Amino acid sequence: MRDETVARNYAEALFELAQRHEGIDAYGDHIQTVARLLEENPSFRLFLETPRIDAEDKKAVVRKAFAEFPAPMTNFLLVTIDKRRQRLLRQIARAYADLVDEHENRAHVEVTVAREMTDETKDRVAERLSALLGKTAIPHVRVQPEIIGGIVVRAGDTIYDGSLRRRLDRMRRQLVAAGASPGPAGETHTSGID
């Protein structure tokens, strides 16, 4: 099985566990805490992922490190060690977050703009995207001055490109296709006419 599929299966098991116990948000916080620790602490990640270290030693450290977690969550982490899947914990955390988003009918959307947006503009963009997607849109805004103006939105595999750069490129292609070529300083010259 591919790692992505295995991680999704473990995330689904954790999601079911969360629904039966403390709640999906709390368990989401717990698995994100684990993922963040693994990301920020390479020595801990190496400790958990190294096959030369005995599984019981790893489990003892996990029990101690995550003592404040509810027992079902800790047991989930111990199972990942027993099944030698602890190297997938960060992927499991991402897959779990995706499951929570599906459950809550949310969509994370990449929004690229040429300049910083005001909070009011971000709210309007979020509202319009929510209406377009039929889900609560959570925009993640990044600034890229090279798009010149407008907005580029990526929602999953779909890209909506309303950038000024794209519009200018399209106009240039249309002019070239019509037999005109842009000259210096934006002047247009039509071939064959003097």
Global pTM value: 0.74
Could you identify the residue written with the tokens 């000259």?
183
Same domain, 10 and 97: yes
Same domain, 119 and 94: no
In a domain, 193, yes or no: no
Is the per-residue pLDDT at 182 higher than 70? no
Annotate 126-178 with three-state secondary structure: HHHHHHHHCCEEEEEEEECHHHCCEEEEEECCEEEEEEHHHHHHHHHHHHHHC
What integer is the mean pLDDT of 57-65? 96
pLDDT for 60: 96
Give me the chain's average pLDDT, please. Answer: 90
Share of the chain above pLDDT 90, in %: 74
Same domain, 76 and 137: no
CATH number for the domain that contains residue 8: 1.10.520.20
CA distance 130 to 162: 17
Is the per-residue pLDDT at 189 higher than 70? no
In a domain, 149, yes or no: yes
pLDDT for 167: 86
Total number of domains in the chain = 2
Same domain, 95 and 113: no
Same domain, 114 and 149: yes
Share of the chain above pLDDT 70, in %: 91
102, 128, 150 - which closes a domain: 102
Is the per-residue pLDDT at 138 higher than 50? yes
43, 76, 102 - which closes a domain: 102
64, 81, 102 - which closes a domain: 102
Same domain, 129 and 115: yes
82 burial (CB, 10 Å; 0-12 / 13-18 / 19+) is exposed
pLDDT for 194: 38
pLDDT for 192: 45
Residue 57's identity, in one-letter code, is: D
In a domain, 120, yes or no: yes
pLDDT for 1: 62
For β-strands 136-143 and 106-113, DSSP reports them as parallel
Domain that holds residue 141: 105-184
Same domain, 73 and 140: no
DSSP states of 61-88 as a string? HHHHHTTTS-HHHHHHHHHHHHTT-GGG
What integer is the mean pLDDT of 121-149? 93
Structure tokens belonging to residue 127 = 């509202």
Is the per-residue pLDDT at 5 higher than 60? yes
In a domain, 189, yes or no: no
Is the per-residue pLDDT at 193 higher than 70? no
Closest Cα partner for 141 from 130, 158, 127, 154?
154
pLDDT for 181: 56
pLDDT for 117: 92
Over residues 14-42, the pLDDT tens digits come to 999 999 987 899 999 999 999 999 999 99
Same domain, 7 and 98: yes
